[in-house]
Amino acid sequence: MSGGRAQVMWDEAVVGYDFGPGHPMDPVRLALTMRLVEAYGLDRVARTVSAPPAGESTLRLVHRPDYIAAVRAASADPGSADGSYGLGTADDPAFAGMHDAAALIAGQSVGAAEAVWSGAALHAVNFAGGLHHAMPGGASGFCVYNDAALAVARLLELGAVRVAYVDVDVHHGDGVQAAFWDDPRVLTISLHEHPRTLFPQTGWPEETGGERAEGTAVNVALPAGTGDAGWLRAFHAVVPDLLAAFRPQVLVTQHGADTHFEDPLAHLAVSVDAQRLVAEACHALAHEHAEGRWLALGGGGYAVTDVVPRSWTHLVGIAAGRPVDPASAVPEEWRHEVFRRTRQLGPLRMTDGRTPEWRDFAASGYDPADRLDQAVLATRRAVFPSHGLLP
């Protein structure tokens, strides 16, 4: 490794990814996260880097040429978007400059992947990224270009032969799974609310990869209402064993903050404290199985002042090697910034006041009456044998 320092990918222009007033994905969440990162001085510990927008050839690593052309056309004339290619819908309304803003976010994730692979950085974070629903031929779920899939595809192009992608957003990472469904070089693991109760209604444990890549798509469908203990139990019952068996050269993780109990669009009950523990676990797993190469992305999260900035600032602090004390008071100047921008009161501390604990699945055994354990066992039965593991 020639580097070793962490990088935070940031360009103020990413806030131009804006679907308009009233849309849940308010770009203020990105600006407030970066201001909180700065308020804690993490930008002086991790290098802040801006990468260029993803160009046409890069976007084509995942997206079809006709879809890219449709995004460009809708970006130039938003009124022409009629729902074709998923553009001009309630979830993904077209807006002027949409292509440029989406390509810029994608460029940050691709640039982060390049930095981690080359050794220019050991860890890289793009919390503006994680737009995991975009498909090769269409927009979906607030996502225009799939920066997560593009980052993985760029790693493969650079020579990686084993890349693991772990997605803990409350929604299934369907676009990334679809991009690598038949590619045995990529292990995709998604922990998400059960598709019976949440968009995009995919991510069943039986979805395990194509014929040439059986067992490389992993889905943990969590019951609605799952809180810290169950979420952490499921993560540790599935992810570490699979990463140990797969031996990735790079770990890419997606940290959507919409698992939180305050999130308005989903039904899990996870705290910022548990989200921080999973970020710490991903960091440790990258060092254990991928020589420390770790690319961390943002994702969903629609409690835009209280939850998202705190969760992703913890993520940056962990990647930078200077974790933020959960008990620390949120800097007063940042709370003033929250009020100035949103007329809302910001949170007072970097914790929800919880100290999450969970029971280890292997040590405590399977409870057949517990819906969380049923979900975990369904996933382990579906994919563990493909990796030489016992369910």
pLDDT tens for each residue of 34-68: 999 999 999 999 999 999 999 999 999 999 999 99
Query: Is 327 in a helix, a strand, or coil?
Result: coil
pLDDT in tens, 204-250: 999 999 999 999 999 999 999 999 999 999 999 999 999 999 999 99
Q: Which residues contact 24 (CB under 8 A, 6 or more apart)?
A: 142, 264, 265, 302
- Integer Cα distance of 189 and 281 in angstroms: 15
In this prediction, residues 361-371 reach a mean pLDDT of 94
What is d(CA 346, CA 335) in angstroms, rounded to the nearest whole number?
5
Cα–Cα nearest to 137, from 173, 98, 97, 87: 87
d(CA 279, CA 276): 5
Neighbouring residues of 336: CB distance < 8 A, sequence distance ≥ 6? none
The C-alpha atoms of residue 43 and residue 38 are separated, in whole angstroms, by 6
pLDDT averaged over the chain?
A: 97
Give exposure, 164-202, as e/b (b: 16+ Cβ within 10 Å). Answer: bbbbbbbbbbbbbbbbbbebebbbbbbbbbbbeebbeeb
Residue with tokens 């960091």: 283
Q: Residues 149, 170, 387, 238: is their CA dihedral positive or negative?
A: positive
Q: Is the pLDDT of residue 1 over 90?
A: no
Query: pLDDT tens digits for 260-282?
Result: 999 999 999 999 999 999 999 99
Percent with pLDDT over 90 in the chain: 98
Q: How many residues in the chain?
A: 391
Tokens matching residue 225: 């209402």
User: Is residue 260 among the annotated active site residues?
Assistant: no
Q: Which residue has the tokens 């493969």?
A: 156
pLDDT over 70 (residue 197): yes
The arithmetic mean of pLDDT across residues 27-39, rounded, is 98
Question: Is a pLDDT exceeding 50 seen at residue 3?
Answer: no
Q: Which two tokens stand for residue 357?
A: 């604990």
Alpha-carbon torsion, ordered 300, 198, 203, 107, to 10 deg = -20
Please give the structure tokens belonging to residue 172. 């299934």
Catalytic pick among 63, 133, 192, 283: 133
**Which amino acid makes up residue 80?**
S
Confidence band (pLDDT; 50, 70, 90) for 4?
Answer: low
d(CA 239, CA 235): 6
What is the reported pTM? 0.98
